[in-house]
Structure 1
Amino acid sequence: MTGETDSLLDLKPAISPTYFNDPSTASAGVIANELAHDRDFVETTYGAIDEDLESQEDIDDSDGFAVSKDKLFYICCSVYLGSYLSALDATVVTTLLPVISSDLGALEKSSWIATSYLLSCATFQPLFGKLSDIFGRKPMILLCDTCFVVGCYMCATSTSLIPLVLGRFITGIGGGGISTLSTITMSDLISLRKRGLFQGVANVFYGLGAASGGVIGGLVADHWGWRYVFYLQIPLAFASAAMIYIHLELPEGSAGLGVQGSGIWGKLKQIDYLGSVLLVSGLTGIMCAAAFGGHEIPFQSPVFVALCVISGALLIGFGLVEAYVSPEPVIPVRLLGIRTVLTSSLANWFGTMGLFSVMYYVPLWFSTVLGLSATENGLRTVPNCIITAGASVGAGMYMRMTGKYLAMARITGLLLVIGAVQLWFLKPNVSTWRQYIILSVPGAGYSMMLTVTLLALIASVDVKHQASTTSIQYCFRSTGSTLGVTVASALFQHTLGAKVKSLVAAAAPDALAGAEVVKRALESPDYLKVAPEWAKAPLLESYDAAGHSVFYFSAVILVLGYLCVFFMQESKLHNSVKRT
């Protein structure tokens, strides 16, 4: 670990501070009031390459870091540990739900245990950037570490469902904040050209956390009980906080130091309360619709429709408040007037919608149409994890060596489209080796796209606005994942219902038997294992058609994202943190 990190610190890039991104849909927001009202700034693009750019010399006035390499090593360790914990806690309960729900006698509401963490993580992330600009990076990171520890302790000591769900909610606030603020802080410390490589390594740790969560949760629960899954995370969070407390010293003049010369009440007055409430409320509604739509809340029900309409209205209201009312917007939507900010954000939005649809429904297609077990399904994701980690690091190395990103952005978009289109031709007789690599192409494209478009977005604006623009991109990404899964779920269920009813009715020996099969088949995919022989072929054909409806949708969405990439502009990547 130490050798690897030392190697990273010794690299000689050529660019300025960029944003340390984490795949966990983190958000950041430095609010620049003067930018929100500066029409000239919004109508131009900072740093876009012009005819003379190739001849410009970028003077490296430092080694590309704002702190010493020794301090940066410990800060990176904390960042990587935070990324790992944030991802692990999102998936660690997947294998624990039956055990926890049985122990607490709350089987019917067990989904809230997982949903509460994801809900708070996604909805509160966009707020931490602005708050850290007001109160400072270090205090906010330590506050989030505290939330994480308190939440884990509440989960470990819960004796009923409500305290456990509340604990998971608080843990999600802390976990989302840790990943977000770590990303912002690394952008304060590392130049743009080196930034992509460091982000790639962070993506590896995040991927490890997400992939190992279920395994670690199961092993710990089997040996010591499910409560120790939460207990054991507490010392790790303390270690991460300790490294930040001791080693994080931002340079003088950094936006990460917070508002200077203002007391606590003065800082509290700078918070965009109205915008924050509208944003959190709108995102909460969308997340709830995505999490419970089609299950606890039927898609056709008035509750689901009202939830979507109200959430959409809240988010529209948020946009209007940020654009025309708030003097210190939590997310400055006026920056969308910059071409690369808008197009890179849309590329992330469409890319995330399409990729999440694929990642959710390819495993479901495997388990239903091919009859794979959960273990077999999990093994088929291993190559994807390895390849996407390498691809993310590779994208960072490319930008460090070349100082360019536009060509790479177009390649990543093409990989996403190719990866989705190949699913159109997925057949029940697909070879085993293809099952293992089929997710690797879109996965590699997406992991590189996250790194490349983030750097493109940050490079397109002045350094003091980099966190603000990143907030916009992460909001697009978080809503994209939610909408993608929701639309894909609606398509899948609609196609499945129509196909099952028509195909089963045609093959059923009598109407009563057909009605029973349709009812049970739509309740659970596990029914395929015990369905009558005459019904298995129609049911398999129905699930195959439903899966392909999602694959068609994802391909169309990813093509739209790919088109957005062609409207991005190449901007200069600097060697120095100050972009001199």
Structure 2
Amino acid sequence: MTKDNKTNNHHHLHPNIIHDPSSETSGIIASELAAEDGTLISQDSFKSHTYGSIESETPTTTENYEIDDPNGGYALPKAQLYTVVSSLFMASYLSALDATVVTTLLTLIASDLKEIKNISWIATSYLLSSSAFQPIFGKLSDIFGRKFILMGCTFLFGIGCFICVTDSLVWLVIGRFITGWGGSGLTSVGTMTMSDLIPLRDRGLYQGLANICFGLGSASGGFIGGIIADTLGWKYVFILQIPLAIIVGVVIQFNLNLPEGSPGLGAHGQDIWQKLKRVDFLGSFCLISALMIILTAASLGGRDIAYTSKLFLFLCGLSAIFLGGFIYVEAYISEEPIIPIHLLGNRTVLASSLTNWFYTMGIFATMFYVPVYYTSVLDMSASENGLRLVPNLFSISMGSVGAGLYMKHTGKYYKLTVFAGILAILGVYKITTITPDIPTWQQFLLLIPSGLGYSCILTITLLALIAATPFKYQACTTSIQYTFRSTGSTLGVSAASAIFQNILAQQLTKKIYAIVKDPKQAQDIINEALESTNFINTVPKAVQKAIRSSYESGCRGAFYFAFATVTLGVVSSLFMREHKLHSNLNRD
């Protein structure tokens, strides 16, 4: 809530600083046709893609691992399991909190460091590294083990927070970058670890609880940061996170003891140098570079560099080159790809990934621009705006846990996918019809349908994606989902921002010049209106009406974009197959 309030007052015209609270068809059938022909993809290779499918439930035993089952299908005794899971929830909360904790402190920190002109990098550095490093953790944790990578990420998170206690902007940005690196691993590897511990049939419930913790961290970050800064000073925002990270690390070190044979233990019988030789450094470099460059372009585009500038086009082209290099390396060079490209030939993997991508684009656009609408068109204060976002937090919590309970009870998810899609489309459509006359009670309920649908989809797609692939690929597929989700949030809001800015500028130019006859005065009004909504209250009523109307048109353009992308997400979700959600870790 605090995050959005702050954003509305100061940065809503440049929503390139993205706060991810926690996050998909042509060609889908191609792999199946190729498998039938047998010339492009062997039948043996294709069988791994349909593992666990209800249409083909004959398991490939070589992909399973057998464990004694004294714990009711879980990998650990209940007391130990709950201790580990609670620490993973705390890690998820810290990661989400740190992404938003500086939202209310940007001006304060930048002023204290005398770096107002570079204010955006304080938040952007965390988010760039968090998104760019997401894809590599799956394969790394398969090689080195979940515990080793989690401990490493905890260390990076703590060290990053320690570096942030500085009087230098450069070191603060470096610290935030390192913290984001560690935070992204805590979230994604924590999710992979829960899949090692918990059967798929119950996995959705635990993922729903994890989503609540992530959502609470995102929602409370700005609020907690503001309180700590007012009472102790902004540096304590980072200092106080260090002992929490240490607690998470200690709990994981002494309690995360996976059973023999679990893929979460990493490679067996190899020393550190042998494991390092297995790491796909070239593929990792290409992928991280591609994501870092395109996300930087998306973050700075429209704010610091024009979308039509040579620099922006160069960054996009360079990102495409690195992405092409990554695909080539993974397909033809790397013996152990960081993300096995062939997994995207799996119908459910590709469909669930695209579902996540498109849904996240659309939902984040509405989560950002509905508050902008309330502030600029309905003239609400920050507190009034924040109150209207509270019901959405509860709806997201209910959707995540509700989806998990449904899947635990039924072992199915396809019908729930269709229901969530209908709910999301109707919810976003309702947002596109918003008018300045919207009743107060509808303002509080406006985001609930789309929030419910989205939170259900996050849990469904993760389980569908894991269930659709052999057990040994669950970490890689989890990385795939987090990558699509994190890039979707950044690209979605950046695209919505471009649409909003263009429509707003066009409408202001048209309407202000029609009212104000002095061209210089008219241009000054347009420039001020583009910079801040606070300017609206300082001009005559006729000009106020024109500015508010222009903002309404800009927001509506962003809402139409959200409707289109969510619709694409729903269509993508229909291509997912119903796979079996096993009730134990042996998948039998």
- Among 385, 388, 400, the residue aligned to 1:377: 385
C-alpha distance in 2, partners of 1:133/1:45? 21
* 1:264 Cα offset (Å): 1.4
C-alpha distance 250-23 of structure 1, shift in aligned 2 (>3 A): farther
User: Residue 7 of structure 2 aligns with which residue?
Assistant: none
- Among 246, 250, 253, the residue aligned to 2:261: 253
User: Residue 107 of structure 1 aligns with which residue?
Assistant: 116
User: Residue 45 of structure 2 aligns with which residue?
Assistant: 41
**Contact 1:42 / 1:334 at 8 angstroms: preserved in 2?**
no
C-alpha distance in 2, partners of 1:447/1:320? 35
Q: How is 1:353-392 mapped onto 2 (pairs within 5 angstroms)?
A: 353-392=361-400
**Contact 1:505 / 1:511 at 8 angstroms: preserved in 2?**
yes
The aligned amino acid for 1:366 is Y
The aligned amino acid for 1:125 is Q
* 1:312 Cα offset (Å): 2.4
User: Residue 24 of structure 1 aligns with which residue?
Assistant: 22
The aligned amino acid for 2:198 is I
The aligned amino acid for 1:46 is Y
User: Residue 558 of structure 1 aligns with which residue?
Assistant: 566
Counterpart secondary structure, 2:269: coil
Q: How is 1:174-323 mapped onto 2 (pairs within 5 angstroms)?
A: 174-323=182-331
C-alpha distance in 1, partners of 2:42/2:126? 38
User: Residue 467 of structure 2 aligns with which residue?
Assistant: 459
Counterpart secondary structure, 2:261: coil
**Contact 1:368 / 1:525 at 8 angstroms: preserved in 2?**
yes
**Contact 1:23 / 1:450 at 8 angstroms: preserved in 2?**
no
C-alpha distance in 1, partners of 2:103/2:224? 10
- Among 548, 553, 567, the residue aligned to 1:545: 553
Once the two structures are superposed, residues 280-312 of structure 1 have per-residue CA deviations (whole angstroms, 9 ceiling, x without a partner) of 111111211222111111222111121122112
The aligned amino acid for 1:47 is G
* 1:514 Cα offset (Å): 1.5
Once the two structures are superposed, residues 173-209 of structure 1 have per-residue CA deviations (whole angstroms, 9 ceiling, x without a partner) of 1111111111111111100011000111111111111
- Among 345, 352, 374, the residue aligned to 1:337: 345
**Contact 1:343 / 1:568 at 8 angstroms: preserved in 2?**
yes
C-alpha distance in 2, partners of 1:315/1:414? 34
User: Residue 116 of structure 1 aligns with which residue?
Assistant: 125
The aligned amino acid for 1:24 is S
C-alpha distance in 2, partners of 1:209/1:38? 45
C-alpha distance in 1, partners of 2:336/2:511? 58
C-alpha distance in 2, partners of 1:322/1:42? 18
C-alpha distance in 1, partners of 2:56/2:243? 54
Q: Which deviates more, 36-45 or 122-131?
A: 36-45
User: Residue 65 of structure 1 aligns with which residue?
Assistant: 74
Counterpart secondary structure, 2:339: coil
* 1:51 Cα offset (Å): 8.6
User: Residue 80 of structure 1 aligns with which residue?
Assistant: 89
The aligned amino acid for 1:311 is S
The aligned amino acid for 1:112 is W
C-alpha distance 327-38 of structure 1, shift in aligned 2 (>3 A): farther
* 1:37 Cα offset (Å): 8.3
Matched, 1:532 2:551: no
C-alpha distance in 1, partners of 2:339/2:21? 19
- Among 492, 496, 505, the residue aligned to 2:500: 492
- Among 131, 135, 149, the residue aligned to 2:158: 149
Once the two structures are superposed, residues 338-374 of structure 1 have per-residue CA deviations (whole angstroms, 9 ceiling, x without a partner) of 1111111111111111111111111111111111122
* 1:458 Cα offset (Å): 1.1
Counterpart secondary structure, 2:118: coil
**Contact 1:420 / 1:442 at 8 angstroms: preserved in 2?**
yes
User: Residue 346 of structure 1 aligns with which residue?
Assistant: 354
C-alpha distance 38-235 of structure 1, shift in aligned 2 (>3 A): farther
* 1:132 Cα offset (Å): 1.2
C-alpha distance in 2, partners of 1:194/1:308? 42
C-alpha distance 198-519 of structure 1, shift in aligned 2 (>3 A): same
User: Residue 405 of structure 1 aligns with which residue?
Assistant: 413
C-alpha distance in 1, partners of 2:54/2:189? 30
C-alpha distance 37-76 of structure 1, shift in aligned 2 (>3 A): farther
C-alpha distance 40-531 of structure 1, shift in aligned 2 (>3 A): farther
**Contact 2:147 / 2:256 at 8 angstroms: preserved in 1?**
yes
* 1:231 Cα offset (Å): 0.9
Counterpart secondary structure, 2:304: coil
Counterpart secondary structure, 1:108: helix
Once the two structures are superposed, residues 307-346 of structure 1 have per-residue CA deviations (whole angstroms, 9 ceiling, x without a partner) of 1221123223222322232111111121111111111111
Structure 1: gaps of 5 or more residues: 1-21, 26-35, 54-59
The aligned amino acid for 1:254 is S
**Contact 2:113 / 2:169 at 8 angstroms: preserved in 1?**
yes
The aligned amino acid for 2:545 is A
Q: How is 1:497-508 mapped onto 2 (pairs within 5 angstroms)?
A: 497-508=505-516
The RMSD of aligned alpha carbons is: 1.9
C-alpha distance 474-573 of structure 1, shift in aligned 2 (>3 A): same
C-alpha distance in 1, partners of 2:390/2:286? 39
C-alpha distance 533-568 of structure 1, shift in aligned 2 (>3 A): same
C-alpha distance in 2, partners of 1:504/1:326? 59
Q: Identity across aligned pairs (percent)? A: 50
Q: How is 1:516-531 mapped onto 2 (pairs within 5 angstroms)?
A: 516-531=524-539
* 1:39 Cα offset (Å): 5.6
C-alpha distance in 1, partners of 2:154/2:198? 23
Counterpart secondary structure, 2:133: helix
The aligned amino acid for 1:203 is N
The aligned amino acid for 1:249 is N
User: Residue 576 of structure 1 aligns with which residue?
Assistant: 584
* 1:52 Cα offset (Å): 8.3
Structure 2: gaps of 5 or more residues: 1-19, 24-39, 59-67
* 1:23 Cα offset (Å): 6.1
Counterpart secondary structure, 1:73: helix
* 1:510 Cα offset (Å): 2.7
* 1:69 Cα offset (Å): 0.7
Counterpart secondary structure, 2:52: coil
The aligned amino acid for 2:163 is M
Counterpart secondary structure, 2:476: helix
Once the two structures are superposed, residues 206-225 of structure 1 have per-residue CA deviations (whole angstroms, 9 ceiling, x without a partner) of 11111111111111111111
C-alpha distance in 2, partners of 1:40/1:484? 38
**Contact 1:416 / 1:558 at 8 angstroms: preserved in 2?**
yes
Total equivalences in the alignment: 543
**Contact 1:333 / 1:472 at 8 angstroms: preserved in 2?**
no
* 1:41 Cα offset (Å): 3.0
TM-score (normalised: structure 1): 0.91
**Contact 1:508 / 1:534 at 8 angstroms: preserved in 2?**
no
C-alpha distance in 2, partners of 1:143/1:484? 31
**Contact 2:96 / 2:214 at 8 angstroms: preserved in 1?**
yes
Matched, 1:428 2:436: yes
Counterpart secondary structure, 2:46: helix
**Contact 1:520 / 1:527 at 8 angstroms: preserved in 2?**
yes
Once the two structures are superposed, residues 7-66 of structure 1 have per-residue CA deviations (whole angstroms, 9 ceiling, x without a partner) of xxxxxxxxxxxxxxx9634xxxxxxxxxx986633365112113989xxxxxx9651201
